[in-house]
Structures are given as C-alpha cells and as structure tokens.
C-alpha cells in the first residue's frame, strides 16, 4: 500500500493579513508584501531583521569615502578633465557641422 502525502501548506487566505492585498486563490505568496505559507501569513513576513540592512545611524558620505576614497584632485565639477575635453571637442564639431 502506497503512502499518501498531504500538502502541509496552509490554505491561502482571500485577503493578505499583512498588507490587505487580495490574494489569488492557490497563490503561494502575496503579490503586495511577499507573505507566504512559510511565514504563516503573519506580520513577521515583513520583518527585515535578518537582511543586515543599515540602520538609522548609516552615514552615506562616510561609506562613499571608505569604499571609493577621496575624489581625484583633477576633477572639475565631478568630471575628469578628459570628459570635459571630449565635450568641448564634440560641441565644436557640432557647431562646424551646423554652419556648413
């Protein structure tokens, strides 16, 4: 005699108890917030504690300095002089082309 395995997944609710979005019958997760049968369709589904996201004390400027160092002293307005030179040459070429 073969054993029958029962689906242990809880029944899909009609409305997500976390965000209130309508849930498609038979769906395995809410399209609105991602709550699913593994989280038990509960409020813990929106808990991001395990993602290791930066907290309120996160300093973006300090992060940029630490990751990318100081800006180049050659930069003019955030662009390297080579880009400025390229832009000037292109503008001159376009001006010449328009005058012909």
Interval 23-48: pLDDT, tens: 888 888 888 887 887 776 665 555 55
In a domain, 56, yes or no: no
| C-alpha 23, offset from chain centre | 24
> Where is the domain boundary, 14, 33, 48?
48
Range of the domain at 92: 72-100
Task: For residues 80 and 39, state if they share a domain.
Answer: no
pLDDT over 80 at 77, yes or no: no
Whether the pTM exceeds 0.85: the reply is no
pLDDT greater at residue 1 or residue 93: 93
- How far, CA to CA in Å, does 22 sit from each of 19, 29, 37? 9, 11, 15
How sure is the predictor about 56, in pLDDT bands with cuts at 50, 70 and 90? Answer: confident
Q: How many domains does the chain have?
A: 2
Contacts 24+ apart (CB under 8 A), 39-43: 40/10, 41/10, 41/13, 41/16, 41/17, 42/17, 42/18, 43/17, 43/18
In a domain, 100, yes or no: yes
Write down the pLDDT at residue 91.
96
In a domain, 60, yes or no: no
């Amino acid at each position: 005699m073969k054993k029958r395995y029962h689906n242990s997944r809880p029944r899909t609710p009609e409305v997500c108890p976390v965000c209130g979005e309508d849930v498609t019958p038979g769906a395995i997760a809410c399209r609105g917030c991602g709550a699913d049968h593994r989280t038990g369709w509960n409020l813990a589904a929106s808990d991001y504690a395990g993602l290791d996201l930066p907290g309120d004390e996160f300093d973006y400027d300090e992060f940029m300095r630490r990751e990318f160092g100081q800006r180049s002293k050659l930069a003019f307005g955030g662009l390297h002089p080579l880009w400025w030179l390229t832009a000037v040459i292109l503008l001159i070429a376009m001006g010449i082309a328009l005058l012909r």
